[in-house]
Amino acid sequence: TPGDSTYIILIGLNIEISFMFAIAGVVFVKGLPADKNLKIFGLPNRWVLAVGWAAFCVFVEVLLNAVDALTWDYAWWSTKFPILIFLFGYLHFYVVTFLVFDMKTMRNKLITVGAIYAVDLVAILLFGVILGWI
């Protein structure tokens, strides 16, 4: 029941988010050009693809929102202002995904991903368990 310390509501967790972040990162990395120095329209391919995939994901969210399959509760995180969803919802995810993919050693990849998990764990403990915000 809500209020029970063992019950944590994960705000924003739905099938779209689960698939978008569990599968899309892997799928989009598999589509990266082998040559990380390749240019697309004269720009670094990793940045062009990160921007493109982030825009695609926002487009999917807007479509899902239009048919009430995905709802947003804040005016600043909605179809009225999708730039925040683009920048903070997806772009950084793809930029970091591509950076980790291009790292030379498995050790560096594991340290980076481990650091991300550590920040997530601290945030869940702080905002969920201690403050009860989620």
Rounded to whole angstroms, how far apart are CA atoms 134 and 121?
A: 13
* Residue keyed to tokens 């390749």: 38
Asked if the model's pLDDT at residue 134 lies above 80, the reply is: no
pTM of the model: 0.77
**DSSP, res 104:** S
pLDDT for 72-96, tens place per residue? 878 888 888 899 999 998 999 899 9
Rounded to whole angstroms, how far apart are CA atoms 52 and 6?
A: 39
pLDDT for 21-63, tens place per residue? 778 878 888 989 999 999 999 999 999 999 999 999 999 889 9
